[in-house]
């Protein structure tokens, strides 16, 4: 087994219409690297976008630079050059009626609509209340990024659009993963697979670890954690891959998706410091269009 990619952020994955697996990694602080893997499992292309990953949104195979107002079609056509996003109503010149008309059009014809909510600080205003006081005025607005007729648009609006775009919908849209899904609380959970069997956790020793409080003046606390090895079976066709991996285990939390004999064994981490690096579980993905499983 050989590690294909490394990333400082969680690796994102996507299956394109051409049945290529796309992996999105952050190799360094401002190096966003995308890999294209064909149905035979070969890396056939890659793309690097130099920018903060907080400025990049990977939505349904499109890379969107929210700050530079650019997007990439590399996933579908291999073109490494960015395209300009069509900006609509950035200066908020359209009245409420015109914005509502455009919003209805977007809801009816737009594809993969992403709502980014922001607040703009306006010039201070004066009000009279026992004398003159300066009050900072804030203006909430939304940027709706959507696709229509194979082009990308960004529509600025100060209408109330929360009822159309829930946090859950936005969470699912931004989660580009073949291995995880989003629950009702926006927690990212491993999609269970019958091809993965967690067999046994071998406890080697226990240790009491001191953690700091949750913030403010909250006192620190001690926690008992185990050192040990997790034994797992990965089923691939008629073969079985047997894995042994070291983890720390905390039995009184259930933040991981590891189950043995139908019972969650607790939280597995790769470190024993705060904050703990929680391991969700092993991911397994198969598709009849692919000649391999990942």
215-268: pLDDT as tens digits: 666 677 788 899 999 999 999 888 999 999 999 999 988 889 999 999 999 999
Q: What percent of the chain has pLDDT over 90?
A: 66
β-pairing, 259-260 with 263-264?
antiparallel
Confidence band (pLDDT; 50, 70, 90) for 31? very high
pLDDT in tens, 109-129: 998 999 999 887 665 555 555
Cα(41)–Cα(39) distance, rounded to whole angstroms?
A: 5
Q: pLDDT tens digit string along 75-114?
A: 999 999 999 999 999 999 999 999 999 999 999 999 899 9
Peptide bond preceding 38: is omega within 30 degrees of 0, i.e. cis?
A: no
Which H or E run contains 241? strand 239-250
Residue 284 sits at φ, ψ, to 5 deg, of: -140, 130
pLDDT at residue 131 tops 60: no
pLDDT in tens, 38-59: 999 999 999 999 999 999 999 9
Looking at residue 274, its pLDDT comes to 77
Q: Are 257 and 248 in contact (CB under 8 A)?
A: no
**What contacts 75, CB < 8 A, 6 or more positions away?**
14, 16, 20, 22, 34, 36, 61, 62, 63
CA Rg value for the chain: 24
């Amino acid at each position: 087994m050989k590690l294909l990619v490394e990333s400082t952020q969680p690796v994102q994955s996507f299956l394109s219409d051409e049945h290529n697996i796309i992996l999105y990694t952050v190799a360094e602080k401002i190096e966003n690297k995308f890999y294209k893997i064909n149905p035979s499992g070969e890396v056939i292309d890659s793309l690097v976008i130099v920018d903060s990953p907080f400025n990049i949104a990977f939505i349904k195979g499109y890379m969107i630079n929210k700050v530079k107002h650019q997007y990439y079609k590399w996933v579908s056509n291999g073109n490494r050059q960015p395209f300009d996003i069509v900006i609509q109503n950035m200066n908020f010149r359209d009245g409420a009626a015109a914005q509502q008309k455009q919003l209805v059009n977007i809801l009816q014809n737009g594809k993969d609509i992403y709502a980014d909510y922001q607040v703009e600080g306006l010039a201070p205003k004066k009000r009279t209340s026992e004398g003159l006081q300066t009050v900072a005025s804030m203006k909430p607005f939304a940027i709706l990024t959507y696709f229509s007729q194979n082009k990308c648009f960004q529509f600025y609006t100060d209408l109330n659009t929360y009822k159309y775009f829930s946090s859950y919908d936005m969470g699912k849209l931004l989660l580009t993963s073949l291995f995880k899904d989003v629950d009702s609380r926006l927690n990212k959970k491993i999609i269970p697979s019958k091809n993965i069997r967690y067999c046994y956790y071998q406890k080697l020793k226990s240790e009491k670890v001191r953690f700091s409080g949750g913030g403010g003046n909250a006192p620190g606390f001690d926690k008992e954690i185990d050192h040990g090895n997790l034994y797992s079976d990965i089923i691939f066709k008629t073969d079985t891959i047997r894995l042994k991996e070291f983890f720390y285990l905390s039995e009184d939390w259930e933040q991981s998706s590891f189950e043995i004999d139908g019972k969650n064994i607790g939280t597995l981490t790769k470190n024993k410091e705060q904050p703990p690096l929680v391991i969700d579980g092993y991911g397994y993905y198969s598709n009849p269009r692919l000649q391999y499983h990942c």
